Amino acid sequence: MSAKIVARGLALAYDGLSESGAQERVPVLQDFDLEVRQGEFLAVLGPSGCGKSTFLNILAGLAQKSAGELTIDGRPLQGINPHQGVVFQGYALLPWRSVLDNIAIGLEIRGVGRRERLATAREYLALVGLEGQGARYPHELSGGMRQRVAIARALAYAPDVLLMDEPFAALDAQTREHLQDELLRIWDGQRKTIVFITHSLDEAIFLADRVAVMTPRPGRVHRLLDIDLPRPRAAEVRNTPAFAALRQQAWEALRGAPAPVPSAAPRRQEVGA
């Protein structure tokens, strides 16, 4: 399977203050290497503050790397990639727009006519199980419904890659598991490349083809785990010995991930340099 996304020696550091008040460069990512295969569901798992969301922000074009290489389809990333959809934990829906108009916003930015974009929005609204809810507004929806709208919006303009930053973290356990099932149903039908950030071992193992386990900050990939559970993946797989064994492997990888020794922080470079 060919590589869709390739990161080599990726690094990011920011200007900060030491305990003594002196200016210093604070490394967040360092020597970060990762390949994401075409059509793969890859989960990035790591402790809080390890830089996993920072990697996603670089990939989305929302943060600027300090060093290293990042390519998509063999081409260096230059700014925001219009062929990627992003789903955040906080929904990021526009409160003054209806559900249907929120889903259609990416198509509107592209210049798609209103009739066509609303027809597409209705299609994806039905795909996430919210058919008939298009006239409602975000404040009228539950948290789980809002996240469905955010997923529909990301999918509506047919991105090549879907980036998801802990999208279910704020939901209750029952809603979270239900949306995990729904996400896998959608992915099974479309097989888009997904990079999914999480701090939940169970979520990573249930969803992914592979799990990239990160070290503490400054973050790098410590280990890649192949998740050889059958697909399509039913909820009951969480209760199997195979799932428990993979969870133990992920836990041992997390527990054994050493923090890299910070080196001299690299000077800033332009994205794609």
Instruction: Tell me the one-letter amino acid at 167.
Output: P
Pair 194, 41: CB distance under 8 Å: yes
Residue pLDDT, tens place only, 112-143: 999 999 999 999 999 999 999 999 999 999 99
Residues 6+ apart with CB under 8 A from 273: none
Range 250-263 average pLDDT? 77
Burial readout 85-98 (b: 16 or more C-beta within 10 A, e: otherwise): bbbbbebebeeeeb
Range 246-251 average pLDDT? 96
Pair 84, 60: CB distance under 8 Å: yes
Whether 22 shows a pLDDT value over 80: the answer reads: no
Residue pLDDT, tens place only, 94-115: 999 999 999 999 899 888 999 9
DSSP 3-state of 150: helix
Supply 244's token pair: 């428990």
Range 8-29 average pLDDT? 85
Q: What is the pLDDT of residue 186?
A: 93
Q: What is the pLDDT of residue 187?
A: 94
Task: Give the C-alpha separation, 24 to 82, whole Å.
Answer: 34
What pTM did the predictor assign?
0.90
Task: Give the C-alpha separation, 41 to 3, whole Å.
Answer: 13
Q: What is the pLDDT of residue 266?
A: 47
How does the average pLDDT of the chain come out, rounded? 90
Whether 272 shows a pLDDT value over 80: the answer reads: no
Residue pLDDT, tens place only, 205-219: 999 999 999 999 999
| Beta-bridge partners for 194 | 41, 162
Instruction: Tell me the one-letter amino acid at 108.
Output: E
> How many percent of the chain have pLDDT more than 70?
94
CATH topology of domain 1-14+25-83+161-259: Rossmann fold (3.40.50)
Among 65-69, 76-80, 184-188, name the one with the lowest average pLDDT.
Answer: 76-80
Domain spans in the chain, listed from the N-terminal domain onward: 1-14+25-83+161-259, 93-158
Alpha carbon 14 to its chain centroid, in Å, reads 22
Instruction: Tell me the one-letter amino acid at 31.
Output: D
Residues 6+ apart with CB under 8 A from 128: 148, 149, 151, 152, 182, 186
Q: What is the pLDDT of residue 2?
A: 84
Whether 265 shows a pLDDT value over 60: the answer reads: no
Task: Give the C-alpha separation, 251 to 200, whole Å.
Answer: 10
Pair 168, 203: CB distance under 8 Å: yes
